[in-house]
Structure 1
Amino acid sequence: MFGIGIDNSIAAVPETLRLAAQADRQGLDLFSVSDHPYVAARLDAYAVTGVILGRTTRISGMANVTNLPSRPAPMLARMVTSLSALSDGRVVLGMGAGGSWDDIVRLGVPRLSPAAAVRAFEEAITLIRRLGSGTGPVTFDGEFYQVTELEAAPVAVPPIWTGSVGARSLAATGRVADGWLPGHAADWLSERYRASRPVIDEAAAAAGRAPADIATIYNLPGRITGTPLRATRDGDGRWIGGSPGQWIEELTGAVLEHGAGGFILFPTGGDPVDVTLGRWAEEIAPAVREATAGRGVRPGGTR
């Protein structure tokens, strides 16, 4: 699975729409937009997603990740099932428990403790799943959400990927999610990944799920250069990029040796972004797909 992170600032609207169309045309699987509803200079993530899905034909869209405290679960369920119906299933539900609480409370949302925020996060995913696929009417009496005789949408709930970081939310991911986006742009060689993924796997197994069914999809900042770099990682071991050939070698190894399920590129400078996007979509993605056929995931999270 290959995706692209796109700018959702108001100032970048023309370029954002142009690059999303290019990504669709060049065969990428997914576009990703951030969700920071307390920042006035940014467009609403779901408004951006809906407009782009309406202008494209193949690519899927995702808020990376949804700011759950500002979007109550029953309404979020209605929104993502509606987008799925309108786009023929081209949507992924990215979910976060909420991190910037000083900003979130400025929206009028009551502050939750870290532990309560994770409980609300897991409860929301459980409720959202029940509010799709026409399995209603749904009555749900949870700690944070209560609905009574609410009809479920006759549309499948999109795959749910989380941006979990702490041990509690990682365990919740193992119990109820379809995919995981490691926080802080951690990659497959990072200590954060090595310490976090076992928490997901153990929780999944304890819940009777196959850990392999929970894909790991990486938010991956980096440059794609016209010529090879002497070093593709910095002094701390963080990936910084390189030529298409260097990217192909690195990502092929990430899939075959570390079980990576997908990559969302966030360009970090260098050549114009449309050139970078072209190299990503037309050179790197096809080569890695060919080298790892059958080992990755599609936007829906299935291997």
Structure 2
Amino acid sequence: MQDRDVLFGFGLETGVGEVDALLAHATQADRDGLDLVTLSDHPYLADRLDAYAALGVVLSRTTSITGAVNVTNTPSRPAPMLARTISALSALSGGRVVLGVGAGGLWSEIVKLGVEPLAPARAVRAMAETIILVRALTGGGDPVTFEGEFHRVTDLVPSLSPTPAIWTGSVGSQSLAVTGRLADGWIPGHAADWLSSRFAESRPLIDEAAAAAGRNPADVATIYNVQGRITASPLPAFRDDSGRWFGGSVDQWVDELTSAVLEHGAAGFICFPVDDGTGTDVALGRWAREIVPAVREAIDRP
């Protein structure tokens, strides 16, 4: 039997008025054997929970599942403090954290926090510095002095918590190159999937950058955000006219995700429920108890 280490996760609610649902679904995902839960990060919105405060509570209410922010709004979280936050969450949870990072997208909103606006190229360089500093400031070692374009630390002692896996939500060519050079995983933007033109055009840029940096491109995993209905019976079509996956029956999901792993090298899937009248409890149950076990069995079949 081949162990492919494919991860299966679920995207949680982040609304201030959705706390009960957030905690219930996190514990349900943990109990049902999923690998990962994720939270989005929009600190400029008053009706959203702070992602890292929420993640700390989620990790305290669960026992096995890993948590991640998908993806961290790095312009609003200075890299040294982000490293300390991740280290604390790792220590408190027994290492059950992944660090997702992005260069920042909604700058019209981000600047409302008093953050200096950055042009795209500078934002990508700032994201790269964040990854470098988090690696330097975790896992122990000698004190760190770093003089970067955006961050400076002097004689700062790294935490003993292990360095987490670091994933990016990169979209543009420069950020994709940073992913190849520095990251452990990539979440394609705009919920693009394994058959999308975005994946076909973007993944080679990651691979080229990884190889140029002396890395094995296969060490940069691709983890997909997937959205779609989970229906009681098969659908006559499960992709729209643009080729985007929009769901189907349990068997159709299993066939599609198994193919994504075996034929396209997918390393993980994070399911986000859609507003189709199906309760999140039901959608999460079908995902965790029916689809995920069947995909795991199929990809491990000799």
Q: What is the TM-score when the length of structure 2 is the normalising length?
A: 0.96
Counterpart for residue 178 of structure 1: 184
Counterpart for residue 301 of structure 1: none
Question: Does the 8 A contact of 1:139 with 1:150 survive in 2?
Answer: yes
Give the 3-state SS of the residue equivalent to 2:228 in structure 1: strand
C-alpha displacement of 1:293? 2.4
Question: Does the 8 A contact of 1:178 with 1:214 survive in 2?
Answer: yes
Counterpart for residue 300 of structure 1: none
Matched, 1:90 2:96: yes
C-alpha displacement of 1:136? 2.6
C-alpha displacement of 1:269? 2.8
C-alpha displacement of 1:72? 0.2
- Amino acid of the residue matched to residue 59 of structure 2? L
Give the 3-state SS of the residue equivalent to 1:232 in structure 2: coil
C-alpha displacement of 1:11? 1.1
Counterpart for residue 69 of structure 2: 63
C-alpha displacement of 1:15? 1.0
Counterpart for residue 12 of structure 1: 18
**1:94-115 Cα shifts (integer Å, max 9, x gaps):** 0000111111110000011111
Give the 3-state SS of the residue equivalent to 2:200 in structure 1: helix
**1:158-184 Cα shifts (integer Å, max 9, x gaps):** 100000000000000000000000000
The alignment's C-alpha RMSD in Å is: 1.1
Counterpart for residue 43 of structure 1: 49
Counterpart for residue 116 of structure 2: 110
Count of residue correspondences? 295
| Cα distance in 1 between the residues matched to 2:264 and 2:53 | 35
**1:57-112 Cα shifts (integer Å, max 9, x gaps):** 01111111000000000000000011011101111000000111111110000011
Counterpart for residue 291 of structure 1: 298
C-alpha displacement of 1:290? 1.4
Counterpart for residue 154 of structure 1: 160
C-alpha displacement of 1:294? 9.2
- Amino acid of the residue matched to residue 201 of structure 1? D
- Amino acid of the residue matched to residue 31 of structure 1? V
Unaligned runs of 5+ in 1: 296-303
Question: Does the 8 A contact of 1:130 with 1:136 survive in 2?
Answer: no
- Amino acid of the residue matched to residue 240 of structure 1? F
Alignment partner of 2:39 out of 19, 33, 36:
33
C-alpha displacement of 1:187? 0.2
Unaligned runs of 5+ in 2: 1-6
Counterpart for residue 123 of structure 1: 129
* 4+ residue segments displaced more than 4 Å: none
C-alpha displacement of 1:292? 1.2
Give the 3-state SS of the residue equivalent to 1:92 in structure 2: strand
Matched, 1:234 2:240: yes
Q: What is the TM-score when the length of structure 1 is the normalising length?
A: 0.96
Alignment partner of 1:282 out of 259, 272, 289:
289
| Cα distance in 2 between the residues matched to 1:47 and 1:137 | 28
